[in-house]
Amino acid sequence: MYIKELSVINFKNLEQVELEFSHKLNCFIGNNGVGKTNLLDGIYYLSFCKSYFNSVDSQNIRHEEEFFVLQGQYSRLDEDENIYCGFQKGQKKKFRRNKKEYKRLSEHIGLLPLVMISPSDTSLIMGGSDERRKFMDSVISQNDRQYLDQLIRYNRALLQRNNLLKYFAANRVFEPDNLEVWDAQLVMLGEKINKRRQEFLGELQPIFQKYYDFISDGHEQVTLEYQSQLNEGDFEGQLKEALQRDRVLQFTSVGIHKDDLELKLGDFPMKKMGSQGQKKTYLVALKLAQFDFIRSVNQAMPILLLDDIFDKLDGERVEKIVKLVSGNTFGQIFITDTNREHLDQIIPRVGADYRIFRVTDGAVTENGNNNGGEPKVVENN
């Protein structure tokens, strides 16, 4: 699967851009802040119905404009797919596949598999447990509609239970029968989600180790250690045991919404050790393992977005990564960088079909390719 054409109107700092891509390697070159990452985010948006960086749609509209539009032409399983997204302030977001609007955005998740590797991924290591739960849920949901449905239903039940706890406190009442309805939902769904997360991490762990060894030339053990209250005992019993505390706190203090994933190198948490380069290597290996996992269970080859991949990695590791992802086991790739020299040193040795685009505040210029085409400029109107 690959994206053939991208059309952007008023998305972030991009006024109007239309681009045609190589089916293999595409590179965006330019200074910081000119819109390279925004182009990747537009591609990401068409896969996940949201921005990778900012989930508030109104904040993704270009300054002093009222709407944005993203449109992509894809080749998927030898068939053309047209994906359209339009959002206007104060209105519901419109998302269409081949001119037919989705009833629920969740129906689109998994159709266009994609993996993004970005400097913001450091939040997986340094951020809170919600970042790591989001990582697990995002990967599993791309290939398991049942899991996504269970997750949505669990979060709804959790919201209802928390609202009920607040109601009890505000009105000085207690209605255990009403609470038990939502407890039963949380237990049924939570146990299924917990089991699927454990299965997923069991599958991901050896793939992660393989990529870490390849990139680092090392033999250190990398571990994804799943931490869940459900692993410590009966969920239903834990809810009953925590009831008095929950009534005081006015929220649910136990459940899979409290799960975490400890990322370890050797015997130590990655959060508390390692240089910036080690952390970057760890994250790139983890995301490549994510790609490998999705590819193994999805009919369509995922798209890979590499944002600022050269930062904090030495040239040898960068070349290894680019050579790896340019091979037959990976599909279409997008890379951003501030330095054209990096690409000039590596791309000729890779031997893949490519297009290079220079991004400035006013235009996206095709700055080179190996298919004989003439460079062209797409002006922002």
What single-letter DSSP state applies at residue 362?
Answer: S
The answer on whether 32 is annotated among ligand-binding residues is yes
Strand-pair partners of 80? 75
Each residue's pLDDT tens digit, 301-313: 999 999 988 777 7
| Total structural domains within the chain | 2
Task: Based on the fold, state whether residues 164 and 256 are members of the same structural domain.
Answer: yes
| Residue 31 in marked binding region | yes
pTM, whole model, 2 decimals? 0.91
* Residues 268, 323 share a domain: no
Token pair in block for residue 186: 């949380």
Residue 54 marked as a ligand binder: no
The widest CA-to-CA distance across the chain, in whole angstroms, is: 75
223 is an annotated ligand-binding site residue: no
* pLDDT at residue number 335: 93
Domain check: are 271 and 139 in the same one? yes
Which pLDDT score, from 0 to 100, does residue 369 have?
Answer: 81
- Are 261 and 203 in the same domain? yes
At 371 the pLDDT is: 62
Residue finishing a domain among 229, 263, 296: 296
**Residue 373 marked as a ligand binder:** no
DSSP string, 60-101: GBPTT-SEEEEEEEEEETTEEEEEEEEEETTS--EEEETTEE
368 is in an annotated binding site: no
The per-residue pLDDT for 151 is 98
Q: Is residue 366 part of a domain?
A: yes
The answer to whether the annotation marks 298 as part of a ligand binding site is no
Q: For the packed helices 176-216 and 315-325, what is the interaxial angle rounded to 10 degrees?
A: 110
Q: Give phi and psi for 291, each to the nearest 5.
A: -60, -50
My answer on whether 199 and 322 are in the same domain is: no
Residue 30 among known ligand-binding residues? yes
Strands 354-359 and 25-29: parallel
Ranges of the chain with pLDDT below 70: 362, 371-381
Tell whether 156 and 222 lie within a shared domain: yes
Q: Which residue has the tokens 């454990």?
A: 198
User: Does residue 228 lie in a domain region?
Assistant: yes
Nearest Cα to Cα of residue 3 among 302, 254, 293: 302
Write down the pLDDT at residue 321: 87
Q: Is residue 263 part of a domain?
A: yes
The confidence score (pLDDT) of residue 318 equals 82
| Residue-number span of the structural domain to which 234 is assigned | 126-296
121 domain residue, yes or no: no
In 320-352, which positions are buried (b, 16+ CB within 10 angstroms) versus exposed (e)?
A: bbbeebbeeebbbbbbbbeeeebbeebbeebeb
